[in-house]
Amino acid sequence: MQRLSRFGRLPNGLATLILLWLLTACCLPLHGAELPLERAFWIDASGSASLDEAQAHPLQPAPAVLSLGYTPAASWLRITLPPSEQPLWLVVQPIYLDHLALYSRPHRPDGSLGDWQLSLLGDHHPFSARPVATLHYAFELRPSPTQPTVVWLRTQTSSVHAVYATVETTADLYRLDSVLHLGAGVYVGVVLMLALLALVRCAVLGDTLWGLNAVLHLLTIACALVFFGLPARYLWPDQPLKADALFSCMLCLFNFFNIGYFAWLARVFGTPRWLFRLLLLPLPLLPLLLWLIAAGHTREAMSLNALVGLLYTLLGMPASWLFRIDDRLLRRMVRGTHTMLGLYIIVLLLSLLGVGRMTVLHLYPAMGMNLLAAVTLYMVLSRRDQLAQREQQLLREQVRSTSQRLAWEQRRLAESASFTGMLLHELKNPLASIRLATLTLLRDQFPSAEAKAARLQRIEQSIDGIDAVLERCRQVDRLDQGEWELQRVDADAAELLHDWVALLPCRERVTTCLPPRLDARLEVGLFHTIFGNLLDNALNYSPPSSIVELVLDESAAGEPLRCMTLTVRNAVGKAGKPDPTKVFEKYYRAAHQTTGSGLGLFLVRRLSEMLGGSVCYRVENEGAADERIAFDLTLPCA
């Protein structure tokens, strides 16, 4: 799905088509250089007057568009043409006029006038009988080359009585028809693209509103095709009443579907329930309008349809301000769109009802209005989807954050349980040893010096074991709290290791391979903690009489930074080899023969990473009699 910008941007191709349509729409009312015509009119209220009666009545100057609203009256328009040597055409718009009658008198060669001739057009007359197959009505004229020519145009219709009559040359006649075809094609293409995009979004998002939007666009296309008179030309050229009934029905269906769509839109945006029900009230009138059209009362049905549209627009504009929309931009888009369209519709419908004067721009009013509504509604729904996606993304992030926090809490609880279990388990044995040694000393009244020293040494070892467990727990807590500050100093790593090994109680089990000197910038406290944990691990988990090897070396030349590698090797003891996937995990211990916290190697890895180094575990001579375990610690020297 195309990514939308802040304003619900349309695809570039669609924007180009819309611009093309607008340019085309601007050309629709244009005609060739109009001849200087004289227009005058008379309104026949009875709708039954003859030409003689029309000629007998005084006439009034006619406006460019003669508009009477919905009325059974007939209008008589007298048009006086100047002399012309070329054939001309009287072009009459709009296309939905029912009955057009043109009265003209040909000029005889001697300059006298012949008898009146009658030509009939309108959407109640077959398209196949038209003198030219164009999307507007055209009467052929034969003007006199020497004197003015007078024709009378009578119009009567059950639709809006609006008559726009001009005189065009043959070239301008076909040019206007091409422009109308082009405008209809571009308009249908743009709205069809919007309908397809709405259908895709409906399928992807499962949103009913997008589905209704797609249906609305398809109804808009159907109305446009009917409005331009295409069904009369291509479907029923010999059955005009079908095309006329289809036009009236489509207008009613389109109007009432707009009513239902707006009500659903109000529901989606959380308007009060009473307002939603109020917006649905006009819908039961649709069957009545369709019945009136089927019964032949088209004028009454169309007049009622326009009145319902006007009243609903007056209701819908303030209703859009009651939509519950939190986003400021979307709220302004919805209110601005409905206010702008509402004012446009009010002005249009008032002119259609005969209030106010119509202009040439009113001849195809639904095209611009419908396209504007289609584009703005697409932008509104796109903005709504954008906000919904943003809200879903925020919700997913909250769920992910909550899940991570829950997982962290579970890990903390698991670690706390493991820590408590480890602490109870590891302190139980040394405390038992202390208790046993103490009881033995209390019961033996005359112990030998050697036995007393042995028992005291055992108590001291147990206390050291407890102290080691607690010290590692304290170190891990400092590490987790971020309280371990680095204070690097220049030191000789080889000398430090040599001195620390010399202080070991069991130094006879440790062999070293150290360089004479290895200068490095170290955090001595952390280095000592790492070294001590590696060495304690090797001494505790190797056979009691085995040798632990300690090798210190500087990395090979060519490295970007000077590094040193400390390797600690020991033979495999009764506990066996540690699990390589768990060896550096917190509280992991391969065996529990000795007192320990399971935190030593965990500290080694975390502290080495703090110093910018690393530690790895490997097995040497695996499967052989001299199989050994090795830990390689690499630290930068600078």
pLDDT of residue 43: 93
Using the predicted structure, report yes or no on whether residue 152 has a pLDDT greater than 90: yes
By the 8 A CB rule, do 598 and 469 touch?
Answer: no
Tokens 């943003």: give the residue.
Answer: 390
Structure token digits, residue 117? 């001739």
Cα distances from 87 to residues 30, 135, 164, in angstroms, run: 20, 20, 20
Structure token digits, residue 530? 């790492």
Q: What is the mean pLDDT of residues 89-97?
A: 87
pLDDT band at 44 (very low <50, low <70, confident <90, very high): very high
478-500 CB burial, b ≥16 within 10 A, e <16: ebeeeebeeeeeebbbbebbeeb
Using the predicted structure, report yes or no on whether residue 428 has a pLDDT greater than 70: no
pLDDT of residue 40: 92
With residue 154 as reference, give the H or E element that holds it.
strand 149-156
Using the predicted structure, report yes or no on whether residue 592 has a pLDDT greater than 60: no
Axis-axis angle for helices 600-610, 449-481 (nearest 10): 40
Structure token digits, residue 254? 């389109």
- Domains of the chain, CATH where assigned: 31-168 (2.60.40.2380), 483-636 (3.30.565.10)
Structure token digits, residue 559? 């490295």
The Cβ of residue 171 has, within 10 Å, a number of other Cβ atoms equal to: 10
**Closest to 354 measured CA to CA, from 303, 317, 305:** 303
d(CA 196, CA 192): 6
Omega within 30 of 0 (cis) for the link into 94:
yes
Axis-axis angle for helices 328-352, 365-443 (nearest 10): 160
d(CA 78, CA 102): 10
pTM: 0.58
d(CA 123, CA 126): 7
Q: Which DSSP string corresponds to 477-498?
A: HHHHHT------EEEEHHHHHH
By the 8 A CB rule, do 176 and 137 touch?
Answer: no
Q: What is the mean pLDDT of residues 328-352?
A: 79
Q: What is the mean pLDDT of residues 573-596?
A: 70
Residue type, 514: L
Beta strands in 414-517 (DSSP E): 489-492, 510-513
Using the predicted structure, report yes or no on whether residue 372 has a pLDDT greater than 80: no
Burial class (CB within 10 angstroms; exposed 0-12, middle 13-18, buried 19+) of 321: exposed
Q: Which DSSP string corresponds to 268-323?
A: HTT--HHHHHHHHTTTTHHHHHHHHHHTT-HHHHHHHHHHHHHHHHHHHHHHGGG-
Structure token digits, residue 329? 């931009």
d(CA 616, CA 565): 11
Using the predicted structure, report yes or no on whether residue 415 has a pLDDT greater than 70: no
pLDDT of residue 322: 83
Query: In percent, how much of the chain has pLDDT > 90?
Result: 10
Query: Strand 510-513 vs strand 161-168: parallel, antiparallel, or unpaired?
Result: unpaired
Q: What is the mean pLDDT of residues 228-245?
A: 82
Q: What is the mean pLDDT of residues 217-243?
A: 83
pLDDT band at 631 (very low <50, low <70, confident <90, very high): very high
Structure token digits, residue 280? 């649905």
d(CA 503, CA 164): 114
Convert the pLDDT of each residue in 15-37 to its tens digit: 444 444 444 444 444 444 456 78
Burial class (CB within 10 angstroms; exposed 0-12, middle 13-18, buried 19+) of 576: exposed
By the 8 A CB rule, do 32 and 169 touch?
Answer: yes
Local structure of 248: helix, strand or coil: helix
Residue type, 42: W
- 107-111, 354-358, 571-575 — which one is most confidently predicted on average? 571-575
Local structure of 595: helix, strand or coil: coil
Q: In residues, how long is the chain?
A: 638
List the end-to-end C-alpha distance of the chain, in Å, as a whole number. 53
Structure token digits, residue 548? 């632990």
Cα distances from 526 to residues 85, 452, 493, 600, 636, in angstroms, run: 111, 37, 13, 13, 13
d(CA 263, CA 250): 20
pLDDT, greater one: 155 or 441: 155
205 alpha carbon, distance to own chain's centre: 10
Using the predicted structure, report yes or no on whether residue 636 has a pLDDT greater than 80: yes
Lowest mean pLDDT among 181-195, 401-415, 488-502: 401-415
d(CA 351, CA 346): 9
Convert the pLDDT of each residue in 123-150 to its tens digit: 888 888 888 888 888 998 888 888 888 9
d(CA 376, CA 374): 6
